[in-house]
Structure 1
Amino acid sequence: MASSNKSKVLKVEPLDYKDAKWATLVKITYTDPEGTQRDWEASERLTRPKGSDIDGVGVVAILQNSSKPNEPLRILLQKQWRPPVNATVIEVPAGLIDPQETPEVCAVRELKEETGYIGEVVGDDFGVSPVMFNDPGFCNTNLRMVHVTVDLSLEENQNPQPSLEDNEFIETFSVPLKDLWAECKKFEKEGYAIDARVGTLAEGVEFARRWKLN
């Protein structure tokens, strides 16, 4: 349950831009279509590597067992408490990209570090998404979603052990992919926050089911 996480916000105070390590606030001056000059307040990340078009990746990891092809597919999720929303959030594995790193390499690395699972990026043009902006009305943070399969029949995936940093407290679990929408509704009732990437994935699965897109 969300209430089992003992993390809590102690205080919130202004942050001087000179002390910011991860993000900063900026004022953007621009002209609208009619030529009127306007201002816009926004946030910018400070961590995007030089030459990279993204800040990081989100990993959609589908668990399957090649020795049991009829088993229902499951999606790998995480529970992680996030200070900005003061809640435990249902998320997909994700992380910032390293300099000179491709989205595919970043996704496999983050998946292994955060969950212990070793995955393989989908081999066609569905493997990596277009660049996506999380909240373009507020910040320039962006990412690519990387779609990965994890074969549970492989020896390296029998007893996955994450390699978490000392400030990471992540609980990994999975749910049936076809039930993702219902699971999100259930988690919300239990007090969890739903990451937009998970919620959007759930909507997509439900759209496909309701309108028989396949």
Structure 2
Amino acid sequence: MPFADKTSSRSKVVKTEALDNKDAKWATLVKTTYTDPEGIERTWESGERLTRPKGCDIDGVGVAAILQDPAKPNDEPRIVLQKQWRPPVNATVIEVPAGLMDPGETPVMCAIRELKEETGYVGEVVADKTFQVSPIMFNDPGFCNTNLRMIHVTVDMSRPENQNPQPELEENEFIETFSVPIKNLWDECIRFAQAGYAIDARVGTLAEGIEFAKRWNLA
């Protein structure tokens, strides 16, 4: 698979330097003092986001968006993915659409908004209420308190607004949207990794779950 990013492949890290907590806008470091199961007092260094809206229990959402056309029931469902260069890993990352919560939003509202802004697709949450919103999940709980919910969305490709979707990216966002058959997601992740891309844990975990289901006949 060639490294064919339209924009992010030209990005590069110029320098990395220490950041004082007082100058941080998006995240900060904290030292937590706690007692272990034996009552011994210990400390733990971790990161915290500074962007979580007041009264909200999550920082953001990830969007598992499936492209389907009701007029073509035999077509393979495809999952929406993105290529986005990320400075912390100095690599182009394969991701699902995602974003931070705005004040007053529900997770579903945030997911539909972010999907439209980042990809141009107009989606709707899946009909099954037991599968619309995931439990709260923590990205890396040994390092930071960042958390999210995954929102499960379908995109009706027969709708006029989804024929030629146009993203509404911010001036500092360079995102390339594409899709792959969801049943092949594991193989696609392997190929992307071999081509030098980084795999977001949400994409990799979803791909692994699909592969487990296939190999152990769980579906």
TM bracket (short chain): over 0.9
Show the counterpart of 1:150. Answer: 155
1:184 aligns with 2:199: no
Separation of aligned partners in 1, 2:168 and 2:103: 20
Show the counterpart of 1:203. Answer: 208
Q: Deviations over 1:31-75 (max 9, x none)?
A: 000000001000000000000000000000000001101100000
Pairwise CA distance, 1:3: 6.9
| One-letter amino acid matched to 2:32 | I
Show the counterpart of 1:61. Answer: 65
Separation of aligned partners in 2, 1:114 and 1:157: 13
Separation of aligned partners in 1, 2:124 and 2:3: 31
TM-score scaled by structure 2? 0.96
1:127 aligns with 2:132: yes
CA contact (8 A) 1:2 1:87 kept: no
SS at match of 1:99: coil
Separation of aligned partners in 2, 1:96 and 1:125: 23
Separation of aligned partners in 1, 2:106 and 2:122: 17
Pairwise CA distance, 1:2: 3.9
Instruction: Please point out which of 10, 14, 18 is paired with 2:18.
Output: 14
Pairwise CA distance, 1:149: 0.1
SS at match of 2:131: coil
Separation of aligned partners in 2, 1:44 and 1:111: 25
| One-letter amino acid matched to 1:130 | P
Separation of aligned partners in 1, 2:40 and 2:75: 59
Instruction: Please point out which of 158, 172, 196 is paired with 1:167.
Output: 172
Show the counterpart of 1:44. Answer: 48
Separation of aligned partners in 1, 2:106 and 2:93: 27
Separation of aligned partners in 2, 1:8 and 1:165: 19
1:73 aligns with 2:77: yes
SS at match of 1:125: helix
Q: Deviations over 1:108-155 (max 9, x none)?
A: 000000000000001221000000000000000000000000010111
Show the counterpart of 1:100. Answer: 104
1:32 aligns with 2:39: no
Unpaired runs of 5+ in structure 2? none
Unpaired runs of 5+ in structure 1? none
| One-letter amino acid matched to 1:150 | V
CA contact (8 A) 1:122 1:148 kept: yes
Separation of aligned partners in 2, 1:197 and 1:96: 15
Separation of aligned partners in 1, 2:3 and 2:56: 36
| One-letter amino acid matched to 2:213 | A
Separation of aligned partners in 2, 1:153 and 1:126: 23
| One-letter amino acid matched to 1:7 | S
Question: What RMSD, in angstroms, separates the aligned Cα atoms of the two structures?
Answer: 0.8
Identity %: 75
